[in-house]
Structure 1
Amino acid sequence: MTTELTMLTWTAALTMVLWVPYILSFIGKYGLMDALTYKADDKPNAPWAERLKRAHYNAVENLVPFAALVITAHLAGVSNDTTALAATVYFWARLAHVIAYVSGVPFGRTLSFATGWFAMAAILLTLIG
């Protein structure tokens, strides 16, 4: 498996597990029955859990273009140092984004998001260049 596909797999795995802590926080605060019903939609969670939920939504939104770029590169047979580095940077930027978002690190969320965006742009430019 290429580095790009490996990083896509790890990014997907990260995105898959991000919901677990904020759901567990909600269950701990309101109970399992409220978490299993629509009552969960109207009740606030702990502030860190609300930030994690937003970070999860952002991860899902950004997984789509990242996956499309990596899969397109794979199908086109484009794999080089630039795409491998960009995919690796993207994964670590997404992990940093979650940590910065949940922790409330000033400018961390924005810088890590921008880093991931530029990593995707590098893959795109390699594909169309």
Structure 2
Amino acid sequence: MGAIVPTELKLLMAAVIIGLIQIVWAAVAGSGGERSLPWLMGPRDEPKPVGVVAARLDRALGNFLQTFPLFAAALLACDFAGKFGASTLYGAALYVIGRALFVPLYAAGIPVVRTLVWAGSMVGIIMVIVAFFQ
């Protein structure tokens, strides 16, 4: 029988899946137009323009790549220190839900709500960090 995996670690894996989806979504959105298949398969030495949505998806991916290592490090530190509890559970859930909602909101160009969702995901990371020090 396998060990019981804490919900926080399941949420960490959900965040990994969100990251993979963002990578594929940004890549697919960035193809076409001036970005022909030979260019996509080559070294991409000469930049080619992308559409508005593709550019948004690329920026959203960049933002995920900035925040995910912080989330993962904080959550794993709490796991190693035996600090999992309500704060880590709700913080991790807030981060994952926020990241899942952020991408389509950003792609759609929805301004204020997108920023509030992003802020919520940051609060999730802070909740996990605070739990580590308690």
TM-score (norm 1): 0.91
Matched ranges for 1:30-49 at <5 A: 30-39=35-44, 42-49=47-54
Structure 1 unaligned runs (5+)?
A: none
1:40 to partner: Cα distance:
7.0
- Within-5 A mapping of 1:44-63: 44-63=49-68
1:39 aligned partner, one-letter code: R
The equivalent residue for 2:86 is 81
Task: Report how far residue 12 of structure 1 moved.
Answer: 0.9
Aligned pair partner of 2:19 in 11, 15, 21: 15
| Greater share of residues in helix | 1
Question: Structure 2 stretches of 5 or more lacking a match?
Answer: none
SS at 1:44 equivalent: coil
Q: Please provide the CA RMSD for this pair.
A: 1.5
The secondary structure found in structure 2 opposite 1:82 is: helix
| Distance (Å, rounded) in 2 between the aligned partners of 1:75 and 1:88 | 19
Partner residue, 2:126 = 121
Once structures 1 and 2 are overlaid, which stretch shifts more, 39-48 or 105-114? 39-48
Determine the C-alpha separation between the residues in 2 that align with 1:99 and 1:24: 15
Higher mean alpha-carbon deviation, 61-70 vs 95-104, is at 95-104
Aligned to 2:7: 3
- In structure 2, C-alpha distance between the alignment counterparts of 1:40 and 1:98, rounded to whole Å: 28
SS of the aligned residue for 1:78 comes to coil
Could you say if the C-alpha distance between residues 126 and 14 of structure 1 is closer, same or farther in structure 2, counting changes exceeding 3 Å?
A: same
Bigger Cα displacement from structure 2, 11-20 vs 36-45? 36-45
Pairwise CA distance, 1:87: 0.5
- What is the distance in 2 between the residues matched to 1:83 and 1:124? 8
Give the TM-score, by structure 2 length.
0.88
**Count of residues in correspondence between the two structures:** 129
Residue 114 of structure 1: CA displacement?
0.8
Shift of 1:126: 1.2
State how far apart, in whole Å, the 1-side matches of 2:13 and 2:53 are: 26
Structure 1 runs (4+) greater than 4 angstroms displaced: none
Distance in 1, matches of 2:17 and 2:69, equals 14
Give CA-to-partner distance per residue, 1:75-106, whole Å, 9 cap, x none: 11111122111101110001111111111112
Identity percentage of aligned residues = 25
SS of the equivalent of 1:79 reads coil
